[in-house]
Structure 1
Amino acid sequence: MNLPILVSLHRLALASACALTTTCALAQKPTTDPSSSTLSVSQLSSLNSQLIPNPIIPGDWSDPGVIKVGDDYYSCRSSFGWQPGIPIAHSRDLVHWRYIGHAFTSHEKLLPGDTRAGIWGLDMGYNPNTQEFLIYAPTRDHEVYVFHSKNPAGPYERKSLGKALGIDPGFFADDDGRLYVTLSKGITYELARDGLSIIGEVSRIDRNRYKLFEGPAIFKRDGWYYMLFSDGGTLPREPSTISVLRSREITGPWEENPNNPVMFATDQGTRFEAPAHGVLLEPTPGNWFITYHAYETSHYTLGRQMFMEPIEWTADGWWCPASGKKSPALTAPAPLPFVTDGFTLAESDEFTAPTLGLQWFFTTAPDFSGKSWSLTENPGQLRVFTQPGDLSSLTALTGIVQQRVTRKAFAIETRVTFDASNARETAGLHFFHNPRMNFWFGLSTDKGDPCLVIGKTDQGKRTDLWSAKNPHGKTVHLRIAVDGEERATFFHSGDGQRWEKLGENIYFGASGHHLRNGERGSPDLGWVGVYKDPAATKALGLPEYLNAEESKIYFTGTTGRPERPGNVWTGATFGLFATRDGAEKPKPADFDYLRVSPSPSVGAATPTSR
């Protein structure tokens, strides 16, 4: 069967696209479509006087899938190697969110310590035929899975949609109840009525016209099918875009917006770059918004965050950002009245529940047996048992509890009880990207004497930085303060009131692009880092899958030779850990709480180090 191919149309060069950032299109001025009830941005702002800052979900919320079901909104993100995987958030106003569940607890294809593979580009949908929530999620080998549940919070059942299909599935339910999914190979498939299997191919885009075809998503308005996609690439300084095609039939032919890319920002001095994975939403009749991810050039540790801004429709039926700019908007009018009660993305945890909060995960399959950690063995505390090795060890991962970094200036604090007496057993706070990139602050020993220690792993190499005798005993308050510019400082206390500083600070910002004052993070905990020595992983005896990315894209290195991208695709995390590095038997570390405060200040502190 001959399938429709994209009509060949002129495509603007990226250099020209860069120049078209002050208006939606120089060739077609954005206007309110007289055939619709769309309000202008000023009218929308008068209805919702509250301007909201972008991003609307801070921290790593890459490849966001967003859907509206009734008056409720749901979103999920690519979780790569983090498990439980595919976190799901719920909102009533698209501004205030709360975690409600995960699509899966563990996945046999996800390898311990790996954040480059795992779940790659996903989408969320609602099946009107079965009243089920659907999440289409590929693994790096391009097998696509569909997770389905009557309850958006789960539990979800899992089924393979097929192998070698591609990545970045985009789900679409048409008015007649027929279902479709489009993938990165540019192919749109019709799905069975339940959305769990493929009937056949219905359309194919000419992929040769584009470097990439990421995040394809179909939407319908006024008899037109619109397909959003992201061309150019994902890494910094690649021309990540949001572009648009449209067709009168879902089978094509598809015509290209002559003003593509509709959104674009790379190396233009903008605060946020690389808008991609766009989703169109209509919160109220005639008022349209787009959600997408982008990253902040000054804070790679926050990863690709979720943005939202209004769009307008032109008289000839194309959409464009209502701001008149192609780059991500810093603020946007609230699309709906605020609903805030109970809608907060959890960070702090007092550990009073018998299960871990939904903000927590591991970079490995979680161990729910009680051998790695427990919330019931010593109720009111998170008990973590020391795991073999240190933070660079795959064997320690079930004892490294993590959550996303979502702030710039903040502090994390805990009170831990731990009897450190053997080898280099350690328990405390950590900041973590993967086993090759992390740092820690904890209770440990030095030749059998209790001490406080700060160390880091940078490109797989461990460095013990600062230590001091522990003057507090087995129970100590620990605090790591981040100054807003990705620099961490360390404090300890016996009573949680009077704090002493230990050591200097650790800068954990970008090491490849957009350096802060020329400084390179050590370790680099950002969503894209650089390994100067790709062979280092092998020398350390770690698995090959933790080696530098086999990529054709190179960065300019400080050594005068190309350097390949390393830690991708996730942002920074923090949390609690317990390791026994040389000690034979596991030992419990009891954490009373993990508290996150928006201010890094701890008042006057006395430095102690040796």
Structure 2
Amino acid sequence: MSKLTRRTAFGALGAAAALPAAAAAPTWRRGVEGQRTADLGDGTFLNPIVAGDRPDPTILKDGSDYYMTFSSFEAYPGVVIWHSRDLVNWAPITAALKTPIGSVWACELIRHNGRYYIYIPARYPDRRSIYVIWADDIRGPWSEPIDLKLPAHIDPGHAVGEDGKRYLFLSGGDRVRLTDDGLSTDGPVEHVYDPWRYPADWDVEGFAPEGPKITRRGDWFYQITAVGGTAGPPTGHMVIVARSRSIHGPWENCPHNPVVRTVSRDEKWWSRGHATLVEGPAGDWWMVYHGYENGFWTLGRQCLLDPIEWTTDGWFRAKGGDLSKPLRKPRGGKPGPHGLAFSDDFTVSKLGVQWGFADPAPDELARVRFDNALVLTARGTAPKDSPPLTFIAPDQAYEVEVDIEIPADGSAGILLFYDKQLYCGLSFNQTAFVTHQYGIERGRPANPNGRRMRIRMKNDRHIVTFHTSPDGRTWTKFDRQMEVSGYHHNVRGGFMALRPALFAAGRGEARFRRLIYRALP
């Protein structure tokens, strides 16, 4: 790896907008199925570069290619890897993690000596650690997870020191040396850095130093760290910087800290922080990080791109401003496809790239097969004990329509799913509809359609409605609407987003056919 351009890692948190959401009226370009697309087609782009729940981006520059992945939390297959050649247009290529190891947080994707590695912090309620998987081809196959036995830390950041040794920088200003193969630790965890502290009168969630990412440029190592807490007050999360001429320190905090922060709840992007530096195709420099969209905690933290410039004192500053307005695209890149189509005829598997089970049991994938339909073996009694298949919605307003056929002894339906305790939706059995709201059953009105019907769920900026049809032509509006703006992390914790989902409970097999996704204006 080049001393100047050492790969780039992850980020996490988004940028700010000077106008309140009601006045900003962003003019995204519409791409696949009407989804908003960052590339405006005129040499500019409008954040987010990857919409929807894509937090903690870890980014790798690999020649003229860029690869990025995100925290996938409880979704499996997980750790989906995305590809770009211009930093603006991104498409998913594979899911690297198949084996459940817990809720996956901020990873680190790197290439070292020709091999790819992903360092993955994951936690169950009673067990947590940092794992590593590796592959000789970015598209896989990826190895099974290897436990590094680091239960007390999250957010690894990989670095190679001037001594040629490999290190993982960890939350809280700590660090551990790795063996040369990167597959185990080589010594104890040690404290190496005391991060810069913000003024006491700022409204933040908590100090919480996390997400350390190391970039080597010239004679300096730069450590980019997130502090302030990742949610809570919109003004909490931020990006701070320190540097050292040696991987062993001492680390000097930047006199201009924080280099990125949301300063007002009126901005377009809240809780911006958790950044990584990356060199653009033509040698200019950028940060990727994440942020909550003003008024849309339910979409999760979305991936943002911010230009930076190196200053004469050897530090850098962010140039993008509030990020609510179009910015010039990185120079020299080649645009490629962006996003993916969510509509699914289920003739081939899109597990991992689109679909993932929420908090699955080890045998969950055995419940799924494809036979010109998604065939899902029923389990449990309700979404709380029947892990649904979910996908990440990138839009503020959208419809999802699907044909559902239930088994004689079961039920199935469509949801907006946050976690096992917080979801809403509509399902049915042979005789009754089942309405779900706040994570509980709310009613069982009569079902006149029998074991097969088509359901349309519309989420129009948190107002949720359902329509049902026995034949896909004649539609009836279901007599219960919902408001879901509170289905998010600051209510439930967990750092996730509200996702469209399909589930099947009881016994037998449910069949889902012809799913259609439409983004709405």
* TM-score interval, normalised by the smaller of the two chains: 0.7 to 0.9
Paired residue secondary structure (1:96): coil
Which of 188, 192, 209 in structure 1 is aligned with 2:179? 192
CA drift of 1:313 comes to: 1.5
Instruction: Give the deviation of 1:212 after TM superposition.
Output: 2.1
**Inter-partner Cα distance in structure 2 for 1:296 and 1:68:** 27
Deviations 1:416-447 (A, max 9, x none): 22355x5xx421211111121111223324xx
Distance 1:183 1:101 in 2: 26
Q: Which amino acid aligns with 2:417?
A: F
Q: Deviations over 1:171-225 (max 9, x none)?
A: 1245775432211131233333222233346870125958221111111223121
SS of the equivalent of 2:172 reads: coil
Matched, 1:599 2:487: no
Partner of 2:262 in structure 1?
265
Alignment counterpart, residue 274 of structure 1, candidates 271, 274, 277? 271
Higher gyration radius (CA): 1
Find the counterpart in structure 2 of residue 135 from structure 1.
118
Q: Which residue of 1 aligns with 2:383?
A: 391
Asked if residue 171 in structure 1 is aligned to residue 158 in structure 2, the reply is: yes
Return the match for 1:500 from 476, 488, 508: 476
- Alpha-carbon distance, 1:243 to partner: 0.6
- Residues 526-545 of structure 1: pairs in structure 2 closer than 5 A: 526-529=488-491
* Match of residue 58 from structure 1: 51
Q: Which moved more, 1:237-246 or 1:492-501?
A: 492-501
Look up the SS of the partner of 2:88 in the other structure.
coil
Identical-residue share of aligned pairs (%): 30
Name which of 138, 144, 149 aligns with 2:130: 144
Instruction: List aligned pairs for 1:312-331, cutoff 5 A.
Output: 312-323=309-320, 325=321, 327-328=322-323, 330-331=325-326
Partner Cα separation in structure 2 for residue 312 and residue 365 of structure 1 = 44
Q: How much does 1:356 deviate?
A: 3.3
Q: CA deviation at 1:588?
A: 2.2
Q: SS at the partner of 1:139?
A: strand
User: What amino acid is the match of 2:311?
Assistant: T
Per-residue deviation at 1:98? 2.1
| Distance in 2 (alpha carbons) for counterparts of 1:190 and 1:361 | 34
Q: Does 1:119 align with 2:97?
A: no
Q: Please state if 1:478 is matched with 2:478.
A: no
Give per-residue Cα distances to partners, 1:534-564, cap 9 Å, x unaligned.
xxxxxxxxxxxxxxxxxxxxxxxxxxxxxxx
Secondary structure class of the residue paired with 2:186: strand
Distance between the aligned counterparts of 1:102 and 1:599, measured in 2? 28
Provide the rounded CA distance (Å) in 1 between the counterparts of 2:419 and 2:451.
28
Superposition deviation, residue 300 in structure 1: 1.0
Partner of 2:38: none
Could you say if the C-alpha distance between residues 488 and 403 of structure 1 is closer, same or farther in structure 2, counting changes exceeding 3 Å? same
**Counterpart amino acid of 2:87?**
L
- Within 1, Cα distance between the matches of 2:63 and 2:78? 26
Report the counterpart of residue 570 of structure 1 in structure 2.
496
8 Å CA contact 1:309–1:329 kept in 2: the answer is: no
d(CA) in 2 for partners of 1:186, 1:99: 32
Q: Is the 8 A contact 1:527 1:572 kept in 2?
A: no
Higher mean Cα deviation, 430-439 or 487-496? 487-496
Counterparts of residues 91-130 of structure 1 (less than 5 Å):
91-107=84-100, 109-110=101-102, 118-127=103-112, 129=113
SS at match of 2:471: coil
Q: 1:395-414 residue pairs with structure 2 within 5 A? A: 396-397=386-387, 400-414=388-402
Please give the alpha-carbon distance, in whole angstroms, between the structure 1 residues aligned to 2:251 and 2:353.
Answer: 41
CA distance in 2, matches of 1:98, 1:267: 32
Partner of 2:5: none
- For 1:341 and 1:79, the matched residues in 2 are separated by 24
The structure, 1 or 2, with the larger RCO (C-alpha pairs under 8 Å, 6+ apart) is 2
After TM superposition, list the pairs within 5 Å mapping 1:452-471 onto structure 2.
453=433, 455-458=435-438, 460-464=439-443, 467-471=445-449
Match of 1:228 among 220, 224, 231: 224
SS at match of 1:273: strand
Q: In structure 2, do the counterparts of structure 1 residues 139 and 386 end up closer, same or farther at CA, with 3 Å as the change threshold?
A: closer
Aligned to 1:215: 211
Distance 2:63 2:162 in 1: 16
User: Hey, what's the Cα distance between the residues in 2 that align with 1:317 and 1:443?
Assistant: 62
CA distance in 1, matches of 2:520, 2:265: 31
CA 1:91–1:389 in 2, change beyond 3 Å: closer, same or farther? same
Q: Does 1:154 align with 2:147?
A: no
- One-letter code aligned to 1:455: T
Q: Summarize deviations over 1:115-159 as a string: whole Å, max 9, x none.
A: xxx2222211111x2x11111112245521111111222232222
- 1:501 maps to amino acid: K
- Secondary structure, aligned partner of 2:295: coil
Aligned pair in 2 of structure 1 residues 226, 123: CA closer, same or farther (>3 Å)? Answer: same
Contact 2:282 2:333 in 1 (8 A): no
Look up the SS of the partner of 1:205 in the other structure.
coil
Give the secondary-structure state (helix, strand or coil) at the position aligned to 2:305.
strand
Partners of 1:97 and 1:345 within 8 A in 2: no
Q: Are residues 342 and 314 of structure 1, via their aligned partners in 2, closer, same or farther at CA, if it must alter by over 3 Å?
A: closer
Residue by residue over 1:319-373, the C-alpha shift from the partner in whole angstroms, topping out at 9 and shown as x without a partner, is 11113x4x55543322156755554334222111156362111123367688633
Using the alignment, how far apart are the partners of 2:111 and 2:163 within structure 1?
A: 14
Contact map agreement 2:240 2:259 (CA 8 A) in 1:
yes
Matches within 5 A, 1:233-382: 233-237=229-233, 239-323=236-320, 325=321, 327-328=322-323, 330-336=325-331, 339=334, 342-353=337-348, 356=351, 358-365=353-360, 372-375=367-370, 379-382=371-374
Q: 1:478 to 1:51 in 2, by over 3 A?
A: same
Tell me the amino acid that sits aligned with residue 221 of structure 2: Y
- Structure 1 residues 456, 250: CA separation in 2 closer, same or farther (over 3 Å shift)? same
Deviations 1:470-515 (A, max 9, x none): 24x54322111121x21111112233334221114211112xxxxx
* Aligned counterpart, 1:45: none
Partners in 1 of 2:240 and 2:477 — Cα distance? 50
Q: Distance in 1 between matches of 2:445 and 2:306?
A: 48
Aligned partner of 2:229: which letter?
G
Name the CA distance, whole Å, in 1 between partners of 2:509 and 2:130.
40
| Amino acid in structure 2 at the alignment position of 1:264 | R
Q: Secondary structure at the match of 2:298?
A: helix
Amino acid at match of 1:413: E
Q: CA 1:571 to 1:444, structure 2 compared with 1: closer, same or farther past 3 Å?
A: same
Contact kept in structure 2, 1:240 and 1:266, CA below 8 Å: no
Once the two structures are TM-superposed, the CA of residue 567 in structure 1 deviates from its matched residue by 3.5
The 2-side partners of 1:173 and 1:345 are apart by 35
CA distance in 2, matches of 1:405, 1:215: 25
1:603 corresponding residue in structure 2: none
Q: Secondary structure at the match of 1:185?
A: helix
1:588 is matched with which residue?
509
Task: Name the CA shift for 1:595/1:75 in 2 (closer, same or farther; >3 Å).
Answer: same
The answer for the alignment partner of 2:78 in structure 1 is: 85
Letter in 2 for 1:303: G
TM-score, normalisation: structure 1: 0.71
Identify unmatched segments of 5+ residues in structure 1: 1-19, 23-47, 111-117, 511-523, 530-565, 581-585, 601-610
